[in-house]
Structure 1
Amino acid sequence: MKLQGMNALVTGAGKGIGRAIATALAQQGVHVGLIARSQSDVSSLAKDLHEKYQVKTAYATADISELPDVEKAVESICEQLGSIDTLINNAGIGTFGLLVDMDPAEWEHIIRVNLLGTYYVTHAVLPMMIAKQHGNIINISSTSGERGAATTTAYSASKFGIMGMTESLMYEVRKHNIRVTALAPSTVNTELAAKAGLKTSDEDWMMQPEDLAELVIAFLSLPQRVYVKTAGLWMTNPQ
C-alpha cells in the first residue's frame, strides 16, 4: 500500500516511540500531525520533519486524559492537514508499585492517560475514517497488556484494556475498511522506561524506538485487504 500523501496523527509524539514513528512516517512522505504535552518537543519536531522531508506537519499540545483537550487538538490539526487516514495511539505513562502502596489518584491517572486517552483520541478521529470508508488505527500496548506482574497493576490494567478495546473496535469498523492493530512491545529504550526503573541502554541488544517504527511502516504498507491484528515485539537476547 502506498503511504505517500496520507495524513497521520501520532500521540505522544514529542519523545521516544512516538517521535520515532512520526519520523518514519514522514520519511515515507506521510503528512503528520503531532500531539504531546510539551510544546517545545512537538514544535521542533514538526519543523524538522517539514524541512527534511517536505511533508506537511501540524502540532498541538494536549493532556489526552482530558476530553476537551483532545477534541481541541484534533480539530486544530485537522484544520491544518485535513482528515486523518492513520492514527497512532502511542501516548502513555507508566509508574510501578504495589497496589496497596500506590496512591489511588496515581493509579487512576495511569488509567485515564493510557486507556481513556486512547479512547478519547480514537473517538475524535474515527468518524472521519468511517466517512471516508478507509483508515488505519495502531494502538501501542505492551507485553504488560498480555500478562500481569507484581507492581504493574495499574499499568497492566490500562494496557490490557487497550488490547480489549482494540479487538472489539476491529469488529466494529472492519466493514468500513478500517484496520485496527495492537502492538505489544517488551521494554523499549525510552525515557519513560528509564523513569519507571526499567533496564535501558543504547547497546545493540536493546530494543530501540526505531525498531517499533519500522514495524509500524511494515504494517501500514500491507495491501489494504489485509492487516495485522496484533503483534508482539521482543528483544532477541535481553542479556
Structure 2
Amino acid sequence: MTAAVRDEDWVLVTGATRGIGRAVAFALAEAGYPLVLWARTGRELEEIAAEITAQHGTPVRIASVDVSVAAEVDKAVADSLAGIATLRGAVINAGGGIWSSIEEMAVEDWRAVVGTNLDGAFHTLRVAMPLLRGHRGAQLVGLASDSSYGSFPQRGAYCASKAGFRSLLETARRELRESGVRVTVLVPSRVDTYFRGKQPGDRPEALSRTEVAEVVATLFAMEPRVEVREVQLSSIHSSFGPFPEVAPEELTDV
C-alpha cells in the first residue's frame, strides 16, 4: 500500500480547466493531493480552485499561463510554485490541434499547435523536472495521442508535435532515472471532450474524460518503485490510430 498523501505532495496539472485536465485535477484532489493548476483562462481557474477546495478541502494554487510562451511559464513558476521545494508529480496535459493539409496550413496555425503541444511541454518540463527530482517516487504523466504513432492526412502539425512530445518524454525518463522519478506516456485515442470545438456528449462512443482521469489517479496510487512506462487507452467502440471502430451491435459474446 502506498504512503498517505502529505501536505508537501504537490502535483502540477497543465491545461487544468477543461476536458481531461479538469477531470484529472478533481481525481487527484479526491485522492488528497494539493494541486498547482495551470491554464490560459484565469476566471475558470479561480472557479475550479474554489470548487475543489469546497468539495475536497485540498490546497490549490493557480496560475494563468500560455505554456507555449517561456516567459509566461517562468512567471507562473514565480506565482504558483513559490515556496514549494518538490513536486510529487506533474501531468502535462495542455494541448490543441488544428486540422489542415501541409500545403494549406497557415504558418501561425502551425506555430500555435507545435507551440502548445511541444514547446509548451518543453517549457513545463524545464521547470518541473528539478522539483520532481527532489521527491523520490514522483510521477510524471504526459498526455500524448494515438496520432503520435502514425501520420494522418490533415494532421501534420498535430501528429508531428505529439510524436515529438513522446520522444521528449522518453528523454526526460532517462534524465530523471537516477532520481527515482517515474515517467508514464499516456496515449489515448478519441476522448469525449471540448477538443477542436466539440462538446462533451458529441462523441459518446469515445472515452470519457473521467475514465482517462481514473487511469492517471491509478498511476499516482502505485508503489513508488513501480513505473508504468506507457498506457495505450481506447474505448472498444472508437478507433485507435488507423484501426476501424467497432459498433456496440457488432460485439460478439464469447
TM-score of Structure 1 vs Structure 2, range by shorter chain: over 0.9
Give the structure with the higher percent helix: 1
**TM-score normalised by length of structure 1:** 0.93
Any unmatched runs of 5+ in structure 1? none
In structure 2, the residue matched to 1:213 is: 213
Structure 1 partner of 2:251:
none
Q: Is the 8 A contact 2:98 2:196 kept in 1?
A: no
Cα distance change of structure 1 residues 218 and 92 upon mapping to structure 2, 3 Å threshold:
same
Aligned partners of 1:11 and 1:35 also within 8 Å: yes
- For 1:224, the equivalent position in structure 2 comes to 224
Superposition TM-score, scaled by structure 2 size? 0.88
Report if the CA contact (8 A) 2:184-2:230 is conserved. Answer: yes
Equivalences for residues 146-165 of structure 1 within 5 A: 146-165=149-168
- Separation in 1, partners of 2:86, 2:71: 19
How much has 1:41 moved relative to structure 2?
1.0
Partner of 2:252: none
Matches within 5 A, 1:77-96: 77-79=80-82, 83-96=86-99
**How many Å separate the matches in 2 of 1:73 and 1:134?**
25
2:142 aligned partner:
139
Displacement of 1:48 after TM fit?
0.6
User: 1:61 maps to what in 2?
Assistant: 64
SS of the residue corresponding to residue 82 of structure 2 reads helix
Structure 2, unpaired ranges of 5+: 239-246, 248-254
Describe the superposition over 1:130-152 as per-residue Cα deviations: whole angstroms up to 9, x where unpaired: 23444221010100111111111
Computed over aligned residues only, the root mean square deviation of the Cα atoms, in angstroms, reads 1.8
Whether 1:182 aligns to 2:197 is no
User: Is residue 108 of structure 2 the alignment partner of residue 105 of structure 1?
Assistant: yes
Aligned mates of 1:132, 1:235 — CA distance in 2: 34
Secondary structure of 2:182's match?
strand
* Percent identity of equivalent pairs: 27
Measure the CA separation in 2 of the matches of 1:3 and 1:76.
Answer: 27
Give the number of the structure whose alpha-carbon radius of gyration is greater: 2
- For the residues of structure 2 that align with 1:200 and 1:104, how far apart are their CA atoms? 32
Q: Between Structure 1 and Structure 2, how many residues are aligned?
A: 236
How far apart are 1:222 and its partner, in Å? 1.3
